[in-house]
Amino acid sequence: MRRTKDIPITIEGRDKGKIFTITEMACSQAERWAARAFLALAKGGVDIPEDIEQAGMAGLAAIGMRAFAGLRWEDVEDLMDEMFMCVSIKTDPQKLPEFTRPLVEEDIDEISTRGYLRVEIFALHTGFSVPAILSQLKSMKDRAGSSKPKTSQDSSPPLSPPA
């Protein structure tokens, strides 16, 4: 059975009070989405940090989320659109709490709501939150850095969340 999660919008704005439901993609669809995402990252020349395999899927996911910012729109547009295919809206949560319908353009009024839903979509599908992944990677890098002497050539910046 696919996982679902209700996402109430509580921040001020035109979407406050709306409730969206995210339903996990079918396994085959999620696999194809991830493969296309990583192919786009490879095409974009994403640099993979050493020892990232220690972070498992969480590490790969963090690299992907950070690296999307540097990719061409043409390479990620379909991926971003497909993310919202698993989002529906509860049109009348008081009277019909179980009823949802697919999104239409007019359902979301704030860009911040779309961003928030993307984070929640990602978390539902991977089991990891983006901030937690980035924190784990930073911790790994800090541990690796403390086990070797620092030199002036060691100028790689610490991992941090995208601005």
C-alpha angle 9-22-102 in degrees, rounded to nearest 5: 95
Sheet holding 87-90, edge to edge: 4-8, 19-23, 87-90, 101-102
What is the span of the domain harbouring residue 62? 4-144
**pLDDT by residue, tens only, the chain of 163 residues:** 899 999 999 999 999 999 999 999 998 888 888 778 877 877 887 765 666 555 555 555 666 566 777 788 888 899 989 999 999 999 998 899 889 999 999 999 999 999 899 889 888 887 766 666 667 667 777 777 765 554 444 443 433 334 3
Listing DSSP states for 59-117 in one string gives HHHHHHHHHGGGS-HHHHHHHHHHHGGGEEEES-TTT-TT--EE--GGG---HHHHHHH
- 161 in a domain, yes or no? no
**Residue 25, in any domain of the structure:** yes
Beta strand 87-90 with 19-23 is antiparallel
Instruction: Report the distance separating Cα 39 and Cα 35, nearest Å.
Output: 6
d(CA 12, CA 125): 27
| DSSP-derived secondary structure letter, 55 | G
Task: Specify if 151 maps to a domain.
Answer: no
Any domain includes 156: no
Report yes or no on 89 lying in a domain: yes
Number of domains in the chain: 1
162 within domain boundaries:
no
Asked whether residue 51 is assigned to any structural domain, the reply reads yes
Within-domain flag for 154: no
